[in-house]
Amino acid sequence: MKELGIGIIGTGFMGKAHAFAYRAALAAFPDIPVPRLEMIADVDAASAAKAAHQYGFARSSGNWKDMIADPKIDVISITTPNTLHKDMALAAIAAGKHVHCEKPLSPSLGESLEMVEAAEKRGVNTQVGFNYIKNPLLKLAREMVEAGELGEITGFRGIHAEDYMHDPEGPWTWRIDPSGGPGVIADLGSHIIGMARFLLGEIAEVSADVRTVVKSRPVARGAAERKDVLVDDVARILVNFGRGCGGTIEANWIATGRKMQLGFELTGAKGSLVFTQERLNELLFYKAGQDPRTSGYTKIEAGPQHYPYGQFCVAGGHELGFNDLKTIEMGEFLSAIGKGQTSGPGFREAYEIQKVVEAAIDSSKARNWVKVA
Ligand code: NAD
């Protein structure tokens, strides 16, 4: 069976998640090319060496460029801060590697377009880390929308709120360095905008309020010196979808108490769906027209009837987790490479999501509706 040599750049939160996923992908999806864990790199060479030992990679490096010329590596995962994505991706693409890059694709639309065009010209596969839509219940939700089970869609209320930036004494990190692009609207907003597009298709226009709430942060935890924050903490966006319905989307990283409120309420003439990542194995379905005495939301529980849940566990109710979604993502990516097909969302879709982000920022500045170009 075909093998694919894997390289991961970065050993932080996402580096570990990618490593878990590549290790588990074959166990879940037996027909994919065998992922061969070749090299993990980090600017911190000791951390790379430790990660190679822990995750079972053959080699480690303190210099990501070592991966680019390595003929044993076919696929590169980029899990570094956003400012670094473009150079790493362009180098990998030029060397003919398939690239998985974490979201957001890059700090700006122009840079992302460069990445899209380079990948399409070179004919390599790309994938971007929109892991949450890999949930089998989200696929079910999309199928229900497409099959007309909810009737004409009348509205979408989406949110991605967490609280990892709520403390004004929380120090400066790469996430708020403006050279990395916008703030929460790109960091979390890209997930919920991507989810909205996955379920309902293109967003045609937006009217947004995008604001910075914590105006300055210490340069390091406990430091007296502070730096002005130039990126957004909260984005509230009115959206109109190309299909005709309207909705709202919020991205918020100062939502004190919230750890993973990524979800939506989707209403249609014949029914509604409610989802939150906090209970990712449940999808609530309300079907209109039932006996009013007994009608209400039905809880659909994830089980082996929702492919690919059964690839992980034969029994319903045992539940998938975040790393399983990442494994589905990698399984689809490697499978597509093996078959010479494309998976998704790739660079092109990440670019389309970024267009919505940029339109919302423009709208907030102009205090006006803006078309998503
Ligand atoms: P992190 O800070 O935990 O890890 C970043 C890693 O990159 C660190 O190990 C750091 O040492 C390494 N690094 C920095 N500069 C480097 C260089 N020049 N060469 C090699 N390695 C270098 O960050 P994270 O939370 O893992 O985020 C990384 C990316 O993943 C970001 O783009 C972020 O938006 C994205 N992300 C995605 C999700 C998701 O759900 N898909 C969740 C969190 C983060």
288 and 151 inside one domain = yes
* 373 domain residue, yes or no: no
Residue 96 lies in a domain: yes
Which helix or strand (DSSP H or E) is residue 335 part of?
A: helix 322-339
For ligand 1, what atom is nearest to the CA of residue 132? 40
Domain of residue 65 covers: 3-131
For atom 39 of ligand 1, the residue with the nearest CA is 129
Question: What's the confidence (pLDDT) of residue 125?
Answer: 98
Whether the CB-CB separation of 20 and 327 falls below 8 Å is answered with: yes
CA 27 to chain centroid, in Å, comes to: 23
Question: At a CB cut-off of 8 Å and minimum separation 6, what does 121 contact?
Answer: none
> By C-alpha distance, which of 80, 116, 92 is closest to 347?
116
Listed residues 86, 114, 131: the one ending a domain? 131
62 CB near ligand 1 (under 6 Å): no
What is the number of domains present in the chain?
A: 2
Pocket flag, ligand 1, residue 64 (CB < 6 Å):
yes
DSSP 188: T
Between helix 347-366 and helix 189-200 the angle, nearest 10°, is 110
- 119 shares its domain with 188: no
For residues 240 and 156, the answer to whether their CB atoms sit within 8 Å is: no
CB atoms within 10 A of CB 363: 22
Does some domain include residue 371? no
Q: Is the CB of 79 under 6 A from ligand 1?
A: yes
- 271 lies in the same domain as 169: yes
User: Is residue 141 helix, strand or coil?
Assistant: helix
- Note whether 75 and 334 are within 8 A (CB): yes
Residue with tokens 């989406």, as numbered in its chain: 158
CA of 294 to the centre of ligand 1 (A): 48
Beta strands 98-101 and 126-128 are parallel
The preferred substitution site among 80, 127, 131, 177 for testing ligand 1, maximizing ligand atoms within 8 Å of CB, is 80
Check whether residue 108 and residue 18 sit in a common domain: yes
- Residue 9 phi/psi, 5-degree rounding, is -105, 120
End position of a domain, from candidates 73, 104, 131: 131
Question: Are 122 and 170 contained in the same domain?
Answer: no
Q: What are phi and psi of 48, to 5 degrees?
A: -65, -45
- Output the CA 15–ligand 1 centroid distance in Å: 7
Q: Given this model, what pLDDT does residue 95 score?
A: 98
Residue 242 lies in a domain: yes
Residues 144 and 19 in one domain: no
Q: Is the same domain home to 141 and 47? A: no
**Is position 335 within any domain?**
yes
Q: Distance, CA 116 to ligand 1 centroid (Å)?
A: 20
Decide whether any atom of ligand 1 lies within 6 Å of the 111 Cβ.
no
**Confidence at residue 1, expressed as pLDDT on a 0 to 100 scale:** 58
- Residue finishing a domain among 71, 100, 131: 131
Distance (angstroms) between ligand 1 centre and the Cα of 10 equals: 6
Shared-domain flag, residues 149 and 230: yes
Q: Output the pTM of the full model.
A: 0.98
Residues 86, 188 share a domain: no
Q: Is the CB of 132 under 6 A from ligand 1?
A: no
372 lies in a domain? no
* DSSP track, 94-148: HTT-EEEEPSS--SSHHHHHHHHHHHHHHT--EEE--GGGGSHHHHHHHHHHHTT
Same-domain pairing of 151 and 300 = yes
First to last CA, the chain: 44
Give yes or no: residues 94 and 49 share one domain: yes
Joined together, the tokens standing for residue 338 give: 């093996």
Does a structural domain hold residue 169?
yes
Whole-number Å distance, alpha carbon 80 to ligand 1 midpoint, is 3
Please give the structure tokens belonging to residue 262: 């990524």
Contact 128, 347 (CB under 8 A): yes
- Ligand 1 contacts CB of residue 11 (under 6 A): yes
Q: Is 277 in the pocket of ligand 1 (CB under 6 A)?
A: no
Q: Sheet of 3-9: strands edge to edge?
A: 59-61, 34-41, 3-9, 75-78, 98-101, 126-128
Residue nearest (by alpha carbon) to ligand 1 atom 44: 14
331 lines ligand 1 (CB under 6 A): no
373 residues of the chain, pLDDT tens digit each:
599 999 999 999 999 999 999 999 999 999 999 999 999 999 999 999 999 999 999 999 999 999 999 999 999 999 999 999 999 999 999 999 999 999 999 999 999 999 999 999 999 999 999 999 999 999 999 999 999 999 999 999 999 999 999 999 999 999 999 999 999 999 999 999 999 999 999 999 999 999 999 999 999 999 999 999 999 999 999 999 999 999 999 999 999 999 999 999 999 999 999 999 999 999 999 999 999 999 999 999 999 999 999 999 999 999 999 999 999 999 999 999 999 999 999 999 999 999 999 999 999 999 999 999 8
41 Cα nearest atom in ligand 1: 20
Report CA-CA distances (Å) from 220 to 75, 103, 172, 216, 224. Answer: 36, 25, 6, 12, 9
Question: Distance between CA 365 and CA 248 in Å, rounded?
Answer: 18
Q: Does 294 reside within a domain?
A: yes
Does any ligand 1 atom lie closer than 6 A to the CB of residue 39? no
> Is the distance from the beta carbon of residue 44 to the nearest atom of ligand 1 less than 6 Å?
yes
Find out whether the beta carbon of 302 lies less than 6 Å from any atom of ligand 1: no
What's CA 368's distance to the chain center, in Å?
28
Whether ligand 1 lies within 6 angstroms of the CB of 128 is answered as: no
Among 255, 211, 216, which residue's Cα sits nearest to residue 233? Answer: 211
Q: Is 127 touching ligand 1 by the criterion CB < 6 Å?
A: no
Identify the residue whose C-alpha is closest to ligand 1 atom 43: 14
**What contacts 366, CB < 8 A, 6 or more positions away?**
none
Q: In this structure, what CATH number is given to the domain that contains residue 166?
A: 3.30.360.10
Domain shared by 36 and 97, yes or no: yes
What is the largest distance, in Å, between two alpha-carbon atoms of the chain? 67
62: nearest Cα among 84, 47, 73, 51: 47
Residue nearest to atom 34 of ligand 1 (CA): 103
Q: Encoding tokens for residue 15?
A: 């580096």
Residue 45: which CATH number? Answer: 3.40.50.720
Distance CA 271, CA 151 (A): 7
